Amino acid sequence: MTTKKLVLFTFLMILVTQLSAGDGMYNILKFGAKGDGKTNCTKAINAAIEAASKNGGGTVYFPAGNFLSYTIRMKSKITLYLDQGAVLIGDKETGTSGYDLPEEDAWYKKFQDFGHSYWRNSLIYGDSLHDIAITGQGMIWGKGLYTYDKPEIKGSGNKAIGLKNCCNVTIRDISILHGGHFCILTTGVDNLTIDNVRADADRDAFDIDCCRNVRISNCNINSPTDDGLCLKSSFALGYARATENVTITNCHVYGYDHGTLMDGTFKKDFKDEAPDAKHSITGRLKMGTESNGGFRNIAVSNCVFEHSRGLCIETADGGIIEDIVISNITMRDVTDTPFFIRLNARMRGPEGTPTGVCRRISISNMIVYDVGGRPKFPEVGAGMVMGIPGYYIEDVSLSNIRIYYCGGGPKSAIEKEVPQNIDMYPDPYRWHTLPAYGMYFRYVKGLRVNDVVLRCLNRDERPAFVLDDVHDAVFSNIDAQKSEGTPQFILKNVSDFSVHQSKGLNDTTVSQTEKKEL
């Protein structure tokens, strides 16, 4: 062992000894907690936090054991440290005791879903705090948390961690099993770091809302029935605030059965016979749909998606999306579309808010295998970039992309009238089959697509690309599989289009056309 490693090992052993002994730390056992999985420890845990806070801050230590609790009220300059073998369990409300009641309703409650308007009914809760952390190799298990809104049940809780208007927050190394509606909900939190967290969610895993200066890295996220890693910019603070300056890197996103990330089995036994059954498997990395404040300066890199949906970038409520970079992505077993970029006008916000803006988005170095092909709608899968009439998505770049679709779309789909869905919740499944198997663009200005390979695992009679009301579009080095007698491109109301150095096509420039096939 090197001298450096020996010093580090000695320091860690001293730290563990201190934590276990309580020297300079706040061991919850000394405040009356019992790790027997039967005793509710809410009072003991909060007493330890209060004691640390009165002394200027410190670490509240959870040793190995099963600790039942209701709402834990965080304070500034407090670290919760869950040691290996420690399990913080969200207890079930009893009718006489339970989680803190949610905040009183605000006038702007109607502008976002129930879960985004309340934080107090969380297992771990904090408001207007600074310099806090939740760390350690232990686990948070939201056993008694609800996955849906239960305002009629007094004392019910529905999120594992709920933080509002905080600064300098670190969540690192912990595991979260079944976090209720949200494993982590942060709203108006600045300087946020989430690192090496394992989340096996029964709804959303991470919801990062109206936050600035965020770093998410090295996380494993499984969320089969809702979004995995979701950036939002709701009106939950009573005003529109952007989510901006965010990096997401080295993360895995899955949609396997509940709990099978944590036990390492990664099962796919879940079945749903609903009409849109294939969309029950979610996962996904998304910006939106809550989008009052918009999103700026977001960089996503080196992420893996498996048995899940892909990427969604959406502004529906008036926010501005700009300067988004996504690179080095691999996906396999994607249930609907590898990417979905959408500007529409649901406009869930104060009256008079203008329709949003979506511009300067780059997706590069992406490999996707096995897109679509689910039983209900086997031909769903095309990448989608869509504005609405009068509101264009601008300056989109797609480069170095390889996608293998299940295919299976009929030729009749080419003539399908694609619905606008202007004021609806934006989600790819609402369009079902599209006229293109590969990529569908509508209401786009400034499009650059280069070095793209598209393949179908089953015969598909639709073209690879459909452009509808698209202007200033350049395609180069395209290699897209097509069926005999099917065009590579269909252009509708397109101007300033060109394609160069592409397999099976002569270099072509189109200054303007109402309809053209290539």
Give residue 403's identity as a one-letter amino acid code: I
Distance CA 59, CA 24 (A): 8
Matching residue, tokens 């992309």: 401
Top-tier CATH class for 37-270? mainly beta
pLDDT in tens, 255-274: 999 999 999 999 998 765 44
Distance CA 110, CA 130 (A): 29
Distance CA 91, CA 99 (A): 9
Q: What angle do CA 218, 223, 228 make, to 5 degrees?
A: 55
Q: Are 197 and 277 in contact (CB under 8 A)?
A: no
pLDDT in tens, 365-392: 999 999 987 766 677 789 999 999 999 9
Upper half-sphere CA count for residue 287 (Cβ side, 13 Å): 35
Distance CA 157, CA 142 (A): 9
Residue 333 CA to chain centroid, in angstroms? 18
For residue 161, the SS3 value is strand
Structure tokens at 61: 């230590």
For residue 121, the SS3 value is coil
CA dihedral (496, 502, 503, 509) positive or negative: positive
Residues 6+ apart with CB under 8 A from 413: 379, 433, 434, 435, 461, 462
- What DSSP string describes 378-418? TT---EEEE-BTTB-EEEEEEEEEEEEEEE---GGGGG---
pLDDT of residue 376: 64
From first to last of its 518 residues, the chain has per-residue pLDDT tens of 555 554 455 444 444 444 444 456 999 999 999 999 999 999 999 999 999 999 999 999 999 999 999 999 999 999 999 999 999 999 999 989 999 999 988 889 999 988 899 999 999 999 999 999 999 999 999 999 999 888 889 999 999 999 999 999 999 999 999 999 999 999 999 999 999 999 999 999 999 999 999 999 999 999 999 999 999 999 999 999 999 999 999 999 999 999 999 999 999 987 654 444 444 688 999 999 999 999 999 999 999 999 999 999 999 999 999 999 999 999 999 988 999 999 999 999 999 999 999 999 999 999 999 998 776 667 778 999 999 999 999 999 999 999 999 999 999 999 999 999 999 999 888 888 899 999 999 999 999 999 999 999 999 999 999 999 999 999 999 999 999 999 999 999 999 999 999 999 999 999 999 999 99
Instruction: Check whether the bond before 289 is cis (ω within 30° of 0).
Output: yes
Distance CA 45, CA 286 (A): 35
Distance CA 369, CA 355 (A): 35
Distance CA 8, CA 425 (A): 52
For residue 424, the SS3 value is coil
Structure tokens at 204: 């959303």
pLDDT of residue 373: 77
Matching residue, tokens 């890295």: 217
pLDDT of residue 2: 58
Distance CA 300, CA 313 (A): 12
Q: Determine which helix (DSSP H) or strand (DSSP E) holds 44, and give its type and residue range.
A: helix 42-54
Task: Give the single-character DSSP code of 223.
Answer: -
pLDDT of residue 304: 98
Distance CA 261, CA 221 (A): 8
Distance CA 316, CA 318 (A): 6
Distance CA 166, CA 205 (A): 19
Please classify residue 269 by burial: count the beta carbons closer than 10 Å to its beta carbon, then call 0-12 exposed, 13-18 middle and 19+ buried: exposed
For residue 505, the SS3 value is coil
Task: Give the single-character DSSP code of 180.
Answer: B
Buried b (16+ CB within 10 A) or exposed e, 440-449: bbbbbbbbeb
pLDDT of residue 280: 65
- What DSSP string describes 289-332? EEESS-EEEEEEEEEEEEEEEEEEEEE-SS-EEEEEEEEEEEEE
Q: In 3D, which of 247, 258, 153 has the Cα closest to residue 208?
A: 247
pLDDT of residue 16: 46
Residue spans of the domains in the chain: they are 37-270, 272-482
According to DSSP, the β-strands at 383-386 and 357-371 are: unpaired
